[in-house]
Structure 1
């Protein structure tokens, strides 16, 4: 590989991961809802999700590189057509606004615990912090995610290994009241990939400046999907020790640590804070870019208005969002995943002929 290729590969791969590793992921809620509740089937679901993430990342980035795609519209409409493209665009923007609102609320909740300030002040602080990052545009987002994502992955993996080593299930309250997202681990894994694909596709269509060669586009998608698979696998293995019952806390991994080791619990609070921040700014950037492109408005003005509107919107429950709203968007995202996979199959057939 030529000089600088690996640097760009890691930047894009970590950006890909940053759009998926949100608060639900880092807290363990998503892992429980979509994988852990299927016992051994959950591990097969994780493998399936990892393969799909890698394929989707590869296909999207390969198209971005080969067709010199600079915007989400250039990716979406030729693939879906005008009517379905408009429908998917509405779904994408609605999903991004929901994610950003909830992540800002999550940020505020943790800031309340760490600082003791009132919730409303913490919401304002969180929104301003997101605004400052979004103002830096795609270069700032990529730089920030490439800096934060390694810390997130390392922290999450450490927590997973720590739980595996201690295996002390007596420190946690167990219950079997959590309802499964679906009755099938295959479909559950598909839903998990599909709603994450809604946001990650928007972000990946913005990284053309970093795709200097086709190798960068290829390996960025594959590496991002592979690292996601490994991280989810370790977390699910750790959480599996708390079954056959389901964990009902809002943030399972944090609750386990706080009941077992206060210091690690406080440290992981910071990791969750970073996870929520990366989710908020990636979704916020994508939404700002979409609105600015569509309405031809000033980017910074759109970002400021959006962050201001998020403040009163940040009141949706955390686990309820993951168990109800995420699967709903997952059903919409299935069509996007299907079309992307169809593109992958077609490209393989063309290469063979």
Structure 2
């Protein structure tokens, strides 16, 4: 039973890491999948297989090399010097992304809850600091709440769509986009999201003792991501092309199901922003702590303060330059992940983590 719980915790954390605020609003799915009509069903299946394969592979590789942070994995993939610079560039992008997410939490409080912008920022920052005092266990426990709620809402939206006049639109809609663009889109989507998710999945894999647990958690997590993608695609396809005019397409669909569902969905979007922000800050702090010998709490406070200051002024213009570069880097990164071997541990001992637990099956092996 304990092993099964840990498998679910890994699966839920994997889902929660990939299913960020952009996913929850529906914009990501609309842009990368639904706009391509009936072909999206096949491209979602392709993405699901890649998430199962490479997400699991990433966590197992982090486990095998005993990676302290995603920088250790990048050094394993690209070599010491290139891996270090790639990790620092990733850190800059992630700080920018998390600054925008933090600003998004303030926007949710202003636009949906009619509260002050700074209130949303402060609640997010204070909650993050308190949770991170418990380490990765807090991230695991948080996702065991957020992800089942997301899945429940997805099932509710699918059930509602089944009673609409055209529920089969997801296999009948056409597209004007080329076949090349249609099939490149899921590759870009999975590559970018896996490269972003390394900040969480690397320490998660490294701090889990059992390889079988990682493997099953990765498989269930990838399947869960695929289900969420397919559910949102199914729901939005039934309302194409009109749904494309909305900034938050899934929110507009939830609105039609009544005030209660709308409120739950608004809270869900905030919880998605919050859970992703917490997980990313944790992963970034691990990398910085490898280079700066100071208190973990001070590192966490420094990162959050940086994100807070940037969220006051915006980071959109810089991200518009960094994102395309990071997109290309993500494709190269995934290619290296596919080709890399399991490797050897890069340090002789692991940092203390209460999440690790002993093996109970002969198939669970440790290396080094």
TM-score (norm 2): 0.81
Structure 1 residue 192 displacement after superposition? 0.9
Contact 1:152 / 1:275 at 8 angstroms: preserved in 2?
no
Bigger CA drift: 202-211 or 215-224? 202-211
Contact 1:155 / 1:271 at 8 angstroms: preserved in 2?
no
89 and 193 in structure 1: CA distance in 2 versus 1, 3 angstrom threshold: same
Q: Distance in 1 between matches of 2:290 and 2:308?
A: 23
Who is 2:217 aligned against?
A: 220
Q: Distance in 1 between matches of 2:107 and 2:162?
A: 28
Structure 1 residue 325 displacement after superposition? 6.6
Who is 2:234 aligned against?
A: 237
Who is 1:58 aligned against?
A: 56
Runs of 4+ more than 6 Å apart:
320-325
Pairwise CA RMSD: 3.1
After superposition, the C-alpha distances for 1:280-324 in whole angstroms (9 at most, x for unaligned) are 111121122222222222211111122222223225599x99999
35 and 208 in structure 1: CA distance in 2 versus 1, 3 angstrom threshold: closer
Q: Distance in 1 between matches of 2:298 and 2:207?
A: 26
Who is 2:82 aligned against?
A: 84
Q: Among residues 281, 285, 292, which one is paired with 1:284 in the alignment?
A: 281
After superposition, the C-alpha distances for 1:45-87 in whole angstroms (9 at most, x for unaligned) are 2111111111112211222333433432332212211233123
15 and 71 in structure 1: CA distance in 2 versus 1, 3 angstrom threshold: same
Q: Which ranges of structure 1 fall in alignment gaps of 5 or more residues?
A: 170-178, 347-353
Who is 1:294 aligned against?
A: 291
Q: Among residues 306, 309, 312, which one is paired with 2:306 in the alignment?
A: 309
Contact 1:107 / 1:126 at 8 angstroms: preserved in 2?
yes
208 and 255 in structure 1: CA distance in 2 versus 1, 3 angstrom threshold: closer
Contact 1:164 / 1:237 at 8 angstroms: preserved in 2?
no
SS at match of 1:50: helix
Contact 1:13 / 1:224 at 8 angstroms: preserved in 2?
yes
Bigger CA drift: 191-200 or 245-254? 245-254
Q: How do residues 1-353 of structure 1 correspond to structure 2 at under 5 angstroms?
A: 3-166=1-164, 184-208=181-205, 211-244=208-241, 247-259=244-256, 261-314=258-311, 316=314, 328-343=325-340
Q: Which ranges of structure 2 fall in alignment gaps of 5 or more residues?
A: 168-175, 344-368
Structure 1 residue 210 displacement after superposition? 5.5
122 and 70 in structure 1: CA distance in 2 versus 1, 3 angstrom threshold: closer
Contact 2:104 / 2:273 at 8 angstroms: preserved in 1?
yes
231 and 335 in structure 1: CA distance in 2 versus 1, 3 angstrom threshold: same
Q: Distance in 1 between matches of 2:306 and 2:320?
A: 25
After superposition, the C-alpha distances for 1:108-133 in whole angstroms (9 at most, x for unaligned) are 12222454322133322322222222
Q: Distance in 2 between matches of 1:344 and 1:225?
A: 21
Bigger CA drift: 62-71 or 304-313? 62-71
287 and 45 in structure 1: CA distance in 2 versus 1, 3 angstrom threshold: same
Contact 1:17 / 1:224 at 8 angstroms: preserved in 2?
yes
